[in-house]
Copies of this chain bind each other. A is one copy, B any other.
Amino acid sequence: MSVTIKDIAKAAGVSRGTVDRVLHNRAGVSPDAVKRVREIADAMGFVPNRAGKILAARKQPLKFGCLLPDVGNPFFLDVISGFRKAEAELADYGVSVDICHVRGFDSAAHKKMLEKMASAGYSGICCATVDLPEIQLAIHSLIEEGIPVIAVNTDIPDSGRLCYVGPDYFNAGLTSAAMVALTAEKDLHILVVTGSFHIRGHNDRIRGFFRGLSDHKASYSVIQTIESSDDDEKAYEMTKQILRENEEINCIFIAAAGVEGVCRAVQELGKNSVTIAAFDETEETVKYLKAGLIDFTISQEPELQGYTAVTTLFSYLMSGGIKKPEDFITGTIIKVPENLGR
């Protein structure tokens, strides 16, 4: 059996209350007692018992807030189900999770939501937001108010966030290139469709992709790079036009949403031999994978992201915020029709 507060109290010749005060760096203990308790606790290798903590903590239940740019973006449904799974698992421990929805990636809207969340009484916050200076500042002030923040899906390194939980976008691009190199013709003429030139994840995927092609000594040329703004209609129109004007295109790299639009254009033009590289396991990518238009997609364990973010926040608070948790990088998952959904 492991060491308890009671053991320490006895060994130090003080009461459990005093030990608790020392362990939580609370004022009102004589320097002498502080020193003795600290030493004994260290010597005995004290680790607080989670079950006991949790039970005692039920008097002040924990509420977490999760910010998501998910209105109109089905990808985040899986992240949400991860949040909910964690909430269900931690319900006994007095944890509840609020989801705060925002449409798109408008930084003003995100900032406003973060400010609103600051005064909602959350014990911790998970957010998938944009890495821009005003957001970094908003997160900074949350942290100064003592609310820990975890960056989910998109990192915000200079914000003081506790840690990052999400994919390695560069590696996903790299892996996509490996799959293209295995699959496709040697002479690639590529159309790149990105979501936004300003979102780092998209850029990292593209960088990774071309690095990967180089690593594989593939000969390739980029015919054009377009921005879909995650809008299928726009992606459709632009793709169709560009494919008409550039017969030689034999590979389309879709760094973000817009899959439906691109695929529709390809299908209508009957260009079935074009290799399409996509990301994530959404309704659209699944549809076109099954249809055989897309050969593979690279996914990123979205549900695990949501789940891990919440449980990490909980563990952090339960351990008294001693040490910052490590970043959690989710897998680079290759999906072909055969292993969809598993």
List A residues at the B interface (Cβ < 8 Å): 1-2, 47, 49-52, 54-55, 58, 61, 91-93, 168, 171, 174-175, 177-179, 182-183, 212, 295-296, 329, 331-339, 342
Q: Chain A interface secondary structure, helix, strand, loop or mixed?
A: helix
| Docked complex Cα distance between A240 and B294 (Å) | 38
Chain B contacts of A179 at CB under 8 A? 182, 336
A257 to chain B, nearest CB (A): 22
- Is B51's CB under 8 angstroms from A338's CB? no
> Do A342 and B51 have beta carbons less than 8 Å apart?
no
When the two chains form the complex, which single residue of B92, B175, B338 contacts A338, counting CB atoms closer than 8 Å?
B175
Q: Give A330 Cβ to nearest chain B Cβ, in Å.
A: 8
Could you write out 18 A-B pairs with CB less than 8 Å apart? A1-B58, A47-B92, A50-B92, A51-B51, A51-B92, A55-B55, A171-B338, A171-B339, A175-B339, A179-B182, A179-B336, A182-B296, A183-B183, A329-B342, A331-B339, A332-B338, A332-B339, A333-B334
> In whole angstroms, how far apart are the Cα atoms of A58 and B329 in the complex?
34
Which residues of B are found within 8 Å of A295, using beta-carbon distances?
182
Q: How far is it, in angstroms, between the C-alpha of A42 and the C-alpha of B60 when the chains are bound?
A: 27
How far apart are A281's CB and chain B's nearest CB, in angstroms? 12
Chain B residue at minimal CB-CB distance from A332: B339
Name, among A1, A51, A52, A179, the residue most crowded by chain B CB atoms within 10 Å (CB to CB): A51
- A179 vs B177: C-alpha distance in the bound complex, in angstroms? 15
Which of B49, B92, B183 touches A182 (beta carbons < 8 Å)? B183
Do B55 and A342 touch across chains, with their CB atoms under 8 A apart? no
Q: How far is the CB of A334 from chain B (nearest CB, A)?
A: 4
The minimal Cβ–Cβ distance linking A63 to chain B, given in whole angstroms, is 13
* Docked pose: A256 CA to B339 CA in angstroms: 19
Chain B nearest CB from A215 CB (Å) reads 8
Asked whether A334 lies within 8 Å of B329 as measured between CB atoms, the reply is: no
Chain B contacts of A336 at CB under 8 A?
A: 175, 178-179, 182, 334
* CB pair B332 A178 closer than 8 Å: no
Docked-complex contact B334 and A171, CB < 8 angstroms: no
Residues of B within 8 A of A171 (CB): 338-339, 342
CA distance A334 to B333 in the complex (A): 7
